Structure 1
């Protein structure tokens, strides 16, 4: 007979996407590294808590749209050197132009973000990664949502701060998120007080 928890399903996830170095093809396109009909070479750098974590040279070749494109990654990563090729597929959009996707080297499926784990870049599913929010309770999720909105108002990572109506909407959403987090926290304290049989909430003084 097995011990306690011996029949529980074990998680196969190895980490959270927020903890991994990533390449987002939408961001690369926005900063000019992914350009239709061109071959571009440049360096990308990753930082964690403001400190340099890794850097790599990218060669993004989209010079032949009909045959598709490719990206070569080489450089020094936290656990050693890397040289990897990732295919890029260009899909025509209904209103003209193309939308670009990475082709995951492990699953051969389209994806817009690839993550570095175990010495290679691959899709979230292939790298067996979770989102941090999946392991949070309702209070933690509400607090995380408020923190992200608060960070957005401050313009993180040199990004422009929202202005005008966009800033007003962000402030409104932040107030709602903070109220939600406080309400959920108080509801949880009341539930704990009810289960304990105490006439007062935890932390209250008589």
Structure 2
């Protein structure tokens, strides 16, 4: 019998994308690693909680992108060394210029992010990864929404606390989210009480 918080969907996945080291081609382009017509060699570092987690050497060759680009990833990963070649493709952008994509080494499909697990980088689908929110219950998602809105009200880092009409809007959304979370929690309690045969039903009174 499941307790409070049980009932989350069980997908055939091996983890969440939020927990994996990733290569994002959009971020690499902003960093200047993706340069059309050039071959760039650079080092990429990952950190978790401000501490170094891993680093790899990237060799991105787009010197002849018409024939296809390649990226070579080599270095030490948490579970061992890696030496992997990844193809790069480009397609015309509706805003002009080009958009660049990795070609997943497993599926061959275009993707902008590759995730590391099992000794290789590949797309989310190929690695059988899901987003954390996909495995949450309705109650977990409601509580997550409440926490997110509270953080927005408090401000954090370079994000200033909202003011004026924006703050009023967020406060109202927070109240609605808190009411939704409380309602779901009470519904869960009632369902558990019914399944257990309890005569005392939870109410909204504290």
TM-score of Structure 1 vs Structure 2, range by shorter chain: 0.7 to 0.9
Cα RMSD over matched residues? 3.2
Question: Is contact 1:70–1:85 with CA below 8 Å preserved after alignment?
Answer: yes
1:80 lines up with 2:80 in the alignment: yes
The TM-score, its normalising length taken from structure 2, stands at 0.76
Q: Which is bigger in relative contact order (C-alpha 8 A, separation at least 6)?
A: 2
Contact 1:75 1:81 in 2 (8 A): yes
Cα distance in 2 between the residues matched to 1:99 and 1:72: 20
> Secondary structure at the residue paired with 1:107?
coil
1:24 is aligned to 24
Q: What is the aligned length?
A: 191
Deviations 1:184-205 (A, max 9, x none): 3233334445655444528976
Unaligned runs of 5+ in 2: 1-9
Shift of 1:142: 2.1
The residue that corresponds to 2:37 in the other structure is 37
Alignment correspondent of 2:156 = 154
2:133 counterpart SS class: helix
Unaligned stretches of 5+ in structure 1? 1-9
CA distance in structure 1 between the aligned counterparts of 2:106 and 2:199, rounded to whole angstroms: 55
For 1:23 and 1:56, how far apart are their aligned partners in 2? Answer: 11
Residue 201 of structure 1: aligned partner: 202
Q: Is contact 2:54-2:76 (8 Å) kept?
A: yes
Conservation of the 8 A alpha-carbon contact between 1:189 and 1:202: no
Match of 1:168 in 2: 166
State the secondary structure of the residue aligned to 1:66.
Answer: helix
Q: TM-score, normalised by structure 1?
A: 0.76
